[in-house]
Amino acid sequence: MSLSCTALSVTRGKRTVLSGIDFALEPGELVCLVGANGAGKSSLIRCLDGLWRPGSGEVSIDGKRLPSLTRAQVARSIAYVPQAGGDTMSLSVSEMVTLGRAPHRATDTVSLRARKVEAALARFALNGMETRAFDQLSGGERQRVLLARAFVQEARYLLLDEPTSALDLRHQLEALRTVREMVDELQVGALIAIHDLSAAARFADRLVLLEQGRIRAAGAWQNVLTPEHLRGAFGIEARVGTVDGLPFVIPEAQG
């Protein structure tokens, strides 16, 4: 079982945004997708969720090719959290999170749905905010609501596009820990596009580094976050190491 793509290429306008991507995400693993602005991280996530059709190549969910699946079928397998700011519906926090149960409408009882939503609100520290309007929340609060909505969806695969970019340090750590727990306890597969390389190395089983629409490197963080790859993909010199077993990446002062 996996969420996978083979020989995926995407063109937008005259621009090739992804080229020859082979990738598979398996249940029970957390993969971080890293790369410079415009490298193609969001584009790959949109293709894997079926929101964008690739120009060539194919995407499969557990062996079934994407164009043959309905949106409802995709939603039972994949929970997608877009970059912050994409969602501006004027619903309450509790209504937004409840939307995550839509794929289970046929089998949910009212009380089961309420219990699941309540558990998700608690997990993302949203208790007491249930009646607040989503579009009046701060960026970080919105991200937590969108994570709770993905959590309650109980999909096998999670696609998270920069889910922690607006979170403060504590909530960032808690959100990534929660995703790690979901991966370990519930055996979901999670793909997270993220700019924080230290956090990526800390929480992911493996990293995929994109550069101009191609995979430049993939594997254990020690093999991906090398001086050569960081220079090539980001144009920086960086110090990479561990402190008490926790990985860090610190850019050097540029001359």
Ligand X SMILES: Nc1ncnc2c1ncn2[C@@H]1O[C@H](COP(=O)(O)OP(=O)(O)OP(=O)(O)O)[C@@H](O)[C@H]1O
**70 sits near ligand X (criterion: CB under 6 A):** no
Residues 36-65 binding ligand X (CB under 6 A) are 37-43
Q: Is 179 helix (H, G, I), strand (E, B) or coil?
A: helix
> Could you tell me the smallest distance in angstroms from the CB atom of residue 79 to ligand X?
18
Distance between CA 31 and CA 130 in Å, rounded?
31
- Span from 32-40, 65-73, 135-143, 232-240 in contact with ligand X (CB under 6 A): 32-40
> Could you tell me the smallest distance in angstroms from the CB atom of residue 197 to ligand X?
13
Burial of residue 12 (CB within 10 Å: 0-12, 13-18, 19+) is exposed
**13 sits near ligand X (criterion: CB under 6 A):** yes
> Could you tell me the smallest distance in angstroms from the CB atom of residue 20 to ligand X?
15
Instruction: Select 45 or 201, whichever has its Cβ closest to ligand X.
Output: 45
- Which contacts of 114-119 are long-range, i.e. CB under 8 A and separated by 24 or more positions? 116/152, 116/154, 117/152, 119/152
Residues 6+ apart with CB under 8 A from 64: none
- Span from 13-21, 24-32, 70-78, 107-115 in contact with ligand X (CB under 6 A): 13-21
Instruction: Select 13 or 67, whichever has its Cβ closest to ligand X.
Output: 13
- Span from 10-18, 55-63, 97-105, 111-119 in contact with ligand X (CB under 6 A): 10-18
**170 sits near ligand X (criterion: CB under 6 A):** no
Q: How many residues bind ligand X (CB under 6 A)?
A: 12
> Could you tell me the smallest distance in angstroms from the CB atom of residue 159 to ligand X?
12
Kind of pairing between the strands at 157-161 and 78-81? parallel
Tokens of 55: 């120009």
> Could you tell me the smallest distance in angstroms from the CB atom of residue 152 to ligand X?
25
Instruction: Select 41 or 116, whichever has its Cβ closest to ligand X.
Output: 41
> Could you tell me the smallest distance in angstroms from the CB atom of residue 136 to ligand X?
25
Among 3, 5, 17, 148, contact with ligand X (rule: CB under 6 A): 17
- Which contacts of 55-58 are long-range, i.e. CB under 8 A and separated by 24 or more positions? 55/9, 55/10, 55/11, 56/7, 56/8, 56/9, 57/5, 57/6, 57/7, 57/8, 57/9, 57/20, 57/21, 58/5, 58/6, 58/7, 58/8
Closest CA to 98 of 115, 85, 75, 74: 115
> Could you tell me the smallest distance in angstroms from the CB atom of residue 205 to ligand X?
21
Contact 160, 191 (CB under 8 A): yes
Residues at the interface with ligand X (CB under 6 A): 12-13, 15, 17, 35, 37-43
